[in-house]
Amino acid sequence: MNRFLTKDFLSGVMFVAFGAVTLYFGQNLAIGTAVRMGPGYVPRMLSMILLGLGLVICVLALVNGGEAVEKPKWKPITLVTIGIVCFGLLLERAGLLPALAVLILISSLAGEEFKLLEVIGNIVVLSILCVLVFKVGLGMNIAVLEGVW
Amino acid sequence: MELLHNLALGLGVAISLQNLTYALLGCMVGTLIGVLPGIGPVATIAMLLPITFHLPPTASLIMLAGIYYGAQYGGSTTSILVNLPGEASSVVTCLDGYQMARNGRAGAALSISAVGSFFAGTVGTILIVLFAQPLTLMAQKFGPADYCSLMALGLIAAIVLASGSVTKAIAMVFLGLLFGLVGTDVNTGAQRYTFDIPELSDGIDFAPIAMGLFGIAEIVVNLERHLTRTGAIKVTSLWPTREEIRRAIPAVLRGTMLGSILGVLPGGGPTLGAFSAYTLEKKLSKTPKMFGKGAVEGVASPEAANNAAAQTSFIPMLTLGIPSNAVMALMVGAMIIQGIQPGPEVMTKKPDLFWGMIVSMWIGNAMLVIINLPMIGMWVKLLTVPYRFLAPAILLFCCIGAYSLQNSTFHVMQVGIFGVLGYIFVRLGCEGAPFLLGLVLGPQMEEYFRRAMLLSRGDPMIFLERPISLGLLIATAALLVLMALPSVKKAREEAFQEEG
């Protein structure tokens, strides 16, 4: 087993990375004094603690070993994220219906089973439901189809 | 009697048509997600946060509370009938509940768990009423330093009682605190970590973070796993035998007591309550061999405990503004979205909201018995809906909900980003709950810290000089030291192994 690919070591690396990033981007915030703290005082303190904790976690993980990370399955997380991004891009440009259809289509691909007819059925049912609930019911200010309704 | 006066006020608020409707809605949604495996109350409440934005504060909190305790009821139904815990807190119910069902006692198990839960919920509600006022009065004496220490204790205790690595959980709290800092600094107006993105100047909105971390990440993890469904056991008669009732009553009482105590503790809550209650029953029983083979006590006690704990976990949140678990952190978030700062002032400044919510919890519990028992057939049917239909639908509601917060697609993108982050957390075994607690408490904690330091002219000794603060800090330190002791560490690991 590779001792660098454990859950603990990698999460330590993640904490160190977050601590370093917040420390770096917080460096131009004024620290002030302990009496009159500037906007940077607390962020700097927290970043350093996080950095320290991350290092401790890394070292402990290397010494003790630990549970290996499972091999990630890329498909669901990638497709779900792409679906959300597409929805965000399409909603205001094209309207609710196209955004909804694309999101459902892409996220259905993320599952293990994919039957086109079922997905189309799902899209139709959810479209009707969403238009009724959000457009007619709650009166949300979104276009169902940009430029048409 | 001021207490009766308050309860009357609460009753008046709770039985208004609007609030009754939302309580019922919350209970229905709660039961629904309790029945459906693969989606829990944390994810649901996170995803419904945007909707509450459009509701009046009292109605939205009543609904969210309903979801939380409704899920405890719904989870037991599937545990008993299908051997599938819909909820983490009903995992133990599977052990004996499903066995009872296989012995032909499904109806008895269901009614005992529903009535036991109702009893426990009632006791929990009474406890909230009794403890709310004294705790609130006490909290009003707190200075900034005391508050800061109280929050530190709350955060640390929440970690210690939760499962998983303590060091990682502490790091997650600090990460949450840092995320809470994003936005305009209240004291100086300086922009912190906003990267010149105008949407970030008010801070990262709580709802998209919660939706991404809990909602999206949970969907993705479920899509990776294969959720299999088995047929449900038919329910015949709902009536338990006299012998079953005789054995259930003391178990329900013990479960209620244990659950009520564990619910108040930071990091406690329904799951811890249910597991401890089961262990206790097994130890007290004269026939421990019966456990796992359909012992009535093994259903009655944990079911009572998880419901009692679900109720009493509201106590620290409502009186002190300190959330004791992830659901309570979301409730705090929901209050902040409504412009209410949780804490001791809620009771004095918004008595209608406070007492209305408490009374509605009791009404909600009564509704749940009705929803659950006669309508069991319908809930079980829902189990047959495949996840491949549910996942896209849930995702869609998440996205529309995020958009509706401020009619901005920026929030939708945030949901996506935090979904990825949440997924990374899950894969690395880092828990989301401590992060959320840190995020919710971060801004307030910084405020109190800075105010305390200003009052003491920069002398950190103020945290040790004030007796309340000192006591709280000693308790925090004691908890941390206790955790480092090898024997405690081992016992804790074993306790959580039993859960998994």
Q: What is the pLDDT of residues B8-31, one digit of tens each?
A: 888 888 888 888 999 998 998 888
Average pLDDT (B308-313) is 88
Number of domains chain B contains = 1
Q: Provide the ipTM.
A: 0.91
**Listed residue (A8, A42, A53, A52) closest to B179, CA to CA:** A42
Q: What is the pLDDT of residues A37-51, one digit of tens each?
A: 888 888 999 999 999
Q: Which residues of B touch A83 (CB under 8 A)?
A: 395
Mean pLDDT of chain B: 83
Contact B434, B158 (CB under 8 A): yes
**Residue A61 to chain B, least CA–CA distance (Å):** 11
**Listed residue (A15, A34, A124) closest to B456, CA to CA:** A34
**Listed residue (A14, A43, A141) closest to B403, CA to CA:** A141
Contact B375, B353 (CB under 8 A): no
**Residue A35 to chain B, least CA–CA distance (Å):** 4
| Residue A64: predicted pLDDT | 83
| Contact status of B225 with chain A (Cβ, < 8 Å) | no
Q: Which residues of A touch B193 (CB under 8 A)?
A: 22, 25-26, 43
Question: Which strand (E) or helix (H) includes residue A136?
Answer: none
Does residue B500 register a pLDDT over 50?
Answer: no
Q: What is d(CA B120, CA B301) in angstroms, rounded to the nearest whole number?
A: 10
**Which chain B residue's Cα is nearest to A105?**
B392
Contact A38, B192 (CB under 8 A): no
- Counting one residue from chain A and one from chain B, the pairs whose CB atoms sit within 8 A come to 176
CA distances from A117 to A113, A114, A121, A129, B365 (A): 12, 9, 6, 18, 41
Q: What is the pLDDT of residues B238-297, one digit of tens each?
A: 788 888 888 888 899 999 998 888 888 776 678 788 888 888 888 888 887 888 788 888
Do B399 and A103 make contact, defined as CB atoms within 8 angstroms? yes
Question: Which strand (E) or helix (H) includes residue A58?
Answer: helix A41-64
**Listed residue (B244, B310, B253, B223) closest to B103, CA to CA:** B244
**Residue B162 to chain A, least CA–CA distance (Å):** 17
**Listed residue (B441, B410, B451, B388) closest to B177, CA to CA:** B441
Phi-psi region of B36 (alpha: psi -120 to 50; beta: other; left: phi over 0): beta
| Residue B324: predicted pLDDT | 79
Q: Which residues of A touch B388 (CB under 8 A)?
A: 108, 111-114, 118
Q: Which residues of A touch B171 (CB under 8 A)?
A: 11, 15, 50, 53-54, 57
Average pLDDT (B154-170) is 78
Contact B368, B361 (CB under 8 A): no
Do B399 and A26 make contact, defined as CB atoms within 8 angstroms? no
**Residue B389 to chain A, least CA–CA distance (Å):** 7
Phi-psi region of A95 (alpha: psi -120 to 50; beta: other; left: phi over 0): left
| Residue B281: predicted pLDDT | 85
Q: What is the pLDDT of residues B178-202, one digit of tens each?
A: 998 888 887 788 888 888 888 888 7
| Contact status of B400 with chain A (Cβ, < 8 Å) | yes
Q: What is the pLDDT of residues B115-125, one digit of tens each?
A: 888 999 899 88
Instruction: Look up the domain containing B451 and give its range.
Output: 2-499
| Residue B358: predicted pLDDT | 86
Do B413 and A141 make contact, defined as CB atoms within 8 angstroms? no
Q: What is the DSSP letter of B230?
A: -
**What's this model's pTM, rounded to 2 decimal places?**
0.83
Q: What is the pLDDT of residues B354-382, one digit of tens each?
A: 888 888 888 888 888 887 777 777 777 77
